[in-house]
């Protein structure tokens, strides 16, 4: 990641946060609704409201443009792709999409992530509701995402696009596997956040595990990883696999690198001592097929040749 894009990221995040800061002052009340005044361009298909990031991401990947998506600003920082077209309207928080506004858009169908199932009875007053699920206990998330995507496509009447998309995905994955072949067989720690003394690490039941297995790569974290595929562990635990590489699933590299460098002992962690650190940028770890594709592509791009290393 270049320095330039990093600072861009900072700048716009600051802008976003200024919005957050405006709460106290209430300065924004007048401004926003004006910007929202133009309704989304109607398409041929049904008018779809996507009230979660996982479903919004998959719907966009299928080539369908929803009317509304929650927290668009943060989506573009954290989920990144597929990008939300500018015609899509903001609908509020993922946990509390704005019902009055939703009603005024008169959607034909509402797609939600499982986290707001409690709101279904009231959403039904506006339009029929479909739940898009990725994490089911005991099933690999990518497999569930695959079948959920097909069900969703059927409900939206875009089966052909879905089949084409999934075929493209499989082809891309084969391509990435060839790209990675023989490149790196050292185990990887997938880490998205490092707080002072702990890290959030992805484990066997995460979306990424399946991508790693398809590529013949090993996850260095083999312990438990909770229903959502991640867990927080003490940094000292990461020393347990000495030849591992650290894959950072976050764009906030500068802070994390500085944090790691600040502590002399953290620098003795094997992957840091020998510079085995790969930065993938932000990943949406509750996402579906598109999130897996983004992870696989960036991994194929950025995982270096093992023989280039000093290790």
Partner 1 sequence: MSKVDALPARSAIEMHPAILIGLLFAAAAALTFRHLSGYLPVSAWLPVLWRPEINDPQQMLVHYTVFPRIAVALLAGAALGLAGAVCQQVLRNPLAEPTTLGVSNGAYLALAVTTLWAPSLLALGREWIALVGGFAAFLCVFGLTWKRALSPVVLVLAGLIVGYYCAVTTQALVLLNHDYLIGLFIWGAGYLNQQDWSNAAFLAPRFLISFVLIAAMVRPLTLLGFDDETARNLGLGLTGARVCALGVAIALSASVVSVVGVLGFVGLTGPALAMLAGARRFRDRLIWAPLCGAGLLWLADELVLLIPPGYREMPAGAATALIGAPMLLVLLPRLRSAAPVGNLTPSVPPRLDHPWRVILFGLALLLFVVWVALAVGVGAEGWSWSGLAGIQEFLPWRWPRVVSALAAGATLAVAGTLLQRMTGNPMAAPEVMGISYGAAMGVIVLLYLFPSHTRVAQIAGGGIGAFIVLGLVLLFSRRSEFSPERVLLAGVAMSAAFAAIVAMALATGDPRIGMLLSLLTGSLYQISPTEASVFAAAAALLLIMVPMLSRWLDILPLGSAASRSVGVSMARSRIVIMLLTALLTATATLMVGLLSLVGFIAPHMARMMGAQRALHQTALAALIGAILMVTADWAGRMVIFPFQMPAGIFAMMLAGPYLLWLLRPQCG
Q: Binders of partner 1 among 178-197, rule CB under 8 A?
A: 192-197
Window 48-77: residues binding partner 1 (CB under 8 A): 74
Among 46, 65, 78, 166, binds partner 1 (CB under 8 A): 78
| CB-based contact 50:59 (threshold 8 Å) | yes
Backbone angles phi, psi at 295, to 5 degrees: -60, -45
CB of 157 to partner 1, least distance (A): 26
CB of 165 to partner 1, least distance (A): 24
Neighbours of 28 (CB within 10 A): 13
Please identify, among the stretches 149-157, 161-169, 252-260, 290-298, the one whose residues bind partner 1 according to the rule CB under 8 A.
252-260
Whose tokens are 């490092």? That residue is 194
Q: Between residues 34 and 160, which has the closer beta carbon with respect to partner 1?
A: 34
Please identify, among the stretches 29-37, 148-156, 178-186, 272-280, the one whose residues bind partner 1 according to the rule CB under 8 A.
29-37
| CB-based contact 56:71 (threshold 8 Å) | no
Whose tokens are 């695959």? That residue is 146
Window 154-183: residues binding partner 1 (CB under 8 A): none
Q: 121 is written with which tokens? A: 């009875």
Window 104-133: contact mask with partner 1 (x via CB under 8 A): xx-------xxxxxxx-xx--x--------
Q: Between residues 17 and 164, which has the closer beta carbon with respect to partner 1?
A: 17
Q: 267 is written with which tokens? A: 């620098």
Work out whether the CA dihedral 243, 247, 248, 251 comes out positive or negative.
positive
CB of 215 to partner 1, least distance (A): 25
| Chain-centre distance for alpha carbon 114 | 16
């Amino acid at each position: 990641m270049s320095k330039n894009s990093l600072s861009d990221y900072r700048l716009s995040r600051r802008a976003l946060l200024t919005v957050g800061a405006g709460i106290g002052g209430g300065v924004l009340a007048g401004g926003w609704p004006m910007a929202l005044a133009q309704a989304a361009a109607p398409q041929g298909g049904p008018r779809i409201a996507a009230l979660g990031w996982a479903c919004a991401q998959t719907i966009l990947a299928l080539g369908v443009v929803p009317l509304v998506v929650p927290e668009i600003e943060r989506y573009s920082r954290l989920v990144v792709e597929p990008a939300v077209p500018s015609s899509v309207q903001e609908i509020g928080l993922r946990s509390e999409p704005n019902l009055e506004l939703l009603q005024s858009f008169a959607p034909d169908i509402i797609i939600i992530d499982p986290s707001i199932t409690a709101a279904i009875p009231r959403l039904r007053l506006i339009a029929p509701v479909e739940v898009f699920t990725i994490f089911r206990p005991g099933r690999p998330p990518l497999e569930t995402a695959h079948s959920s995507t097909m069900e969703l496509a059927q409900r939206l009447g875009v089966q052909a696009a879905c089949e084409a998309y999934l075929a493209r995905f499989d082809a891309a994955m084969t391509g990435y596997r060839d790209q990675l072949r023989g490149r790196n067989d050292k185990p990887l720690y997938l880490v998205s956040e490092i707080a002072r003394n702990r890290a959030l690490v992805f484990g066997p039941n995460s979306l990424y595990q399946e991508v790693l297995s398809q590529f013949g790569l090993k996850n260095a974290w083999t312990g438990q990883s909770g229903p959502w595929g991640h867990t927080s562990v003490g940094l000292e635990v990461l020393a347990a696999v000495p030849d591992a590489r650290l894959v950072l699933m976050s764009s906030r590299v500068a802070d994390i690198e500085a944090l790691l460098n600040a502590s002399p002992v953290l620098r003795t962690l094997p992957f840091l001592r020998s510079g085995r650190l790969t930065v993938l940028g932000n990943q949406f770890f509750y996402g579906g097929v598109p999130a897996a594709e983004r992870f696989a592509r960036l991994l194929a791009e950025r995982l270096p040749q093992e023989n280039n290393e000093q290790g």
